[in-house]
Amino acid sequence: MSMKLIKDLWKRLLRPDACSHTKKLLFEFVEGELTPETHHKLEKHIGTCPPCLDYVNSYRRTIVMTHHHGLPEEPMPPALKQKLCEFIKQNPDLK
Amino acid sequence: MLMSKTDAQIDDVQLVARLKKRDRSALEELVQVHGAKMYGVALQFMRNETDAREVMQDALVSIWNKIASFEGKSAFTSWIYRVTANAGLMALRKKKRHENDISLDAVGSDDDDAPLPALQLSDKKPLPDKIVMTGELGEQVRAAIDQLPEPYRVAVLLRDVEELPMAEVMQETGLTEPALKSRLHRARLALREALLPYLKGQDIQKS
């Protein structure tokens, strides 16, 4: 995102359509990629706008949930463990 | 019996030392100790046990060949899961099995702001806390990830599940930074939409 675009967005953050900027800058906001000034302005808006707060929080929680639950919790089949051990013993690349 | 974190870390140090000395039995021990998580990574990429096994085999060969380059700057577990994720990514590329996925063209370009098609979960009603804690939530999250078109699924797995740095995901996927960000953002929005009932009861506003 160019500096000019960020500055333009920053200037408009306190206008009534600030909610649209929450969506536009959501990724950069959550990833901490905005300038401190822009981040602060957006944070200020989000703090006073319940729908934006819910939106940002649900996006953040999605990332957290994805991280915590993204991998299968089922155990490795015992037969697979056995096959891998045989693979290790027999594979010529593992010398 | 559960090992303390310290014991596990000490064991990993010894495991690495044995691997560097070309002790092949250390690889078998690695499968015993870390195989379950490696399998989880491989399975999430490949979606079936047969392909997951091949990914694990490729990962074991990579670990064996690259162990000399492991300097211990990151946790050994993080390193082997990254190697496994990379093996999964390579396998997906090799396999080119896109027939069951929605192609990228079908869902628009990376610059397109349109959301991905709605993901179909088995039950989108809010779950009681007790059930959420028992693992059904995990099933719903994995089901949602599984339904993402492959390029988006890979971005989410590497960045949000494995938590690889953006630069590393760009390197692994060959994507430019804007393309990766766009892909990741759209995938997160699709997951958010699918998981809204589980995110915070009924109080969360839809976009």
DSSP per residue, B121-163: -S--SPPPHHHHHTTHHHHHHHHHHHHS-HHHHHHHIIIIIS-
What are the start-end ranges of the E strands in chain A?
none
- Judge whether residue B73 has pLDDT over 50: yes
Instruction: Check pLDDT > 80 for residue B121.
Output: no
- What's the token pair of residue A57? 């929080």
- The residue-averaged pLDDT of B190-199 equals 90
Q: What is the CA radius of gyration of chain B?
A: 19
pLDDT band at B137 (very low <50, low <70, confident <90, very high): confident
The answer to whether the CB of B194 falls within 8 A of the CB of B119 is yes
Give the Cβ contact number of residue B44 at 10 Å: 22
Query: What is the pLDDT averaged over residues B137-161?
Result: 92
Examine the pLDDT at B104 and tell me if it is beyond 60.
no
Share of chain B above pLDDT 90, in %: 55
pLDDT higher than threshold 50 for residue B105: no
Cβ–Cβ gap B31/A88 under 8 Å: yes
CA dist A72 and A70 (Å) reads: 7
Residues of chain A contacting residue B199, judged by C-beta atoms under 8 Å apart: 58, 61-62, 65
Q: How many CB atoms lie within 10 A of CB B126?
A: 16
Structure tokens at A42: 């957006």
Q: Which of B4-13, B29-38, B68-77 has the lowest mean pLDDT?
A: B4-13
pTM of the shown model: 0.77
Verify whether the Cβ–Cβ distance B195 to A57 is below 8 Å. Answer: no
Instruction: Calculate mean pLDDT across residues A8-32.
Output: 78
Query: Which is nearest to B197 in space by CA: B103, B112, B125?
Result: B125
Closest chain A C-alpha to B25 CA, distance in angstroms: 8
Q: Which residues of A touch B37 (CB under 8 A)?
A: 71
Taking the Cβ of residue B198 and every Cβ of chain A, the question of whether any pair is shorter than 8 Å is answered with yes
B43's tokens: 């399975």
Quick one: pLDDT at residue B135?
Answer: 66
Q: Is the ipTM of this complex over 0.95?
A: no
Lowest mean pLDDT among B29-33, B40-44, B63-67, B113-117: B113-117
Query: Which structure tokens are listed for B64?
Result: 């064996």
The pLDDT value recorded for residue B126 is 46
Q: Name chain A contacts of B56, Cβ cutoff 8 Å.
A: 80, 84
Is A55's Cβ below 8 Å from some Cβ in B?
yes
Euclidean distance between CA atoms B60 and A89, whole angstroms: 12
